[in-house]
Amino acid sequence: MSESKESYDVPGDYYYTKDHEWTKRKRDGNVLIGITDYAAKMLHDIVYVTLPREGQTLSKKEVLGQVESVKTVSDIYAPVSGTVVKSNDRLTKEPEIVSSSPYKDGWMLEIKSTNYDNEVKDLMNADSYRKFVSELGEKE
């Protein structure tokens, strides 16, 4: 096992999927969605992001957009259901923000969730996600 393990930012007040998306409920009840620091680092240089339009309805686990890097194109899946209130349009001009600030400036969508409290039960909390990522690293 290598001694230089890369560390990943995993904020405690978010929920995570095994596909490396995150979700966080805002004070107004709406929900932010993005990809994790782990996903951003695995993708390396992000060059393009596609996101759904405002008003679009998403079902949990539905493809909501794509992130393109110099290495690959990856689908992004909705961690919870809801209607898109806002897409982070800044990412169309500055997709690299996803890599530099995946949880703050690099959020992708804000949705009005239809069933957040029930759907979030299927997601990992920060401790579970850290363990999941750590186990992925051990398999490499």
Residue 14: pLDDT over 70: yes
Give 98-120 pLDDT, tens digit per residue.
999 999 999 999 999 989 999 99
Residue ranges of domains in the chain, CATH in brackets = 15-133 (2.40.50.100)
Among 76, 64, 73, which residue's Cα sits nearest to residue 111?
Answer: 64
pLDDT value of position 2: 37
Residue 73: pLDDT over 90: yes
Is the separation of the CB atoms in 107 and 89 below 8 Å?
no
**Residue 5: pLDDT band by 50, 70, 90 thresholds?**
low
Which contiguous run of DSSP H or E holds residue 85? strand 82-87
- The reported pTM is 0.92
Average pLDDT, the chain: 92
Among 106, 27, 108, 105, which residue's Cα sits nearest to residue 65?
Answer: 108
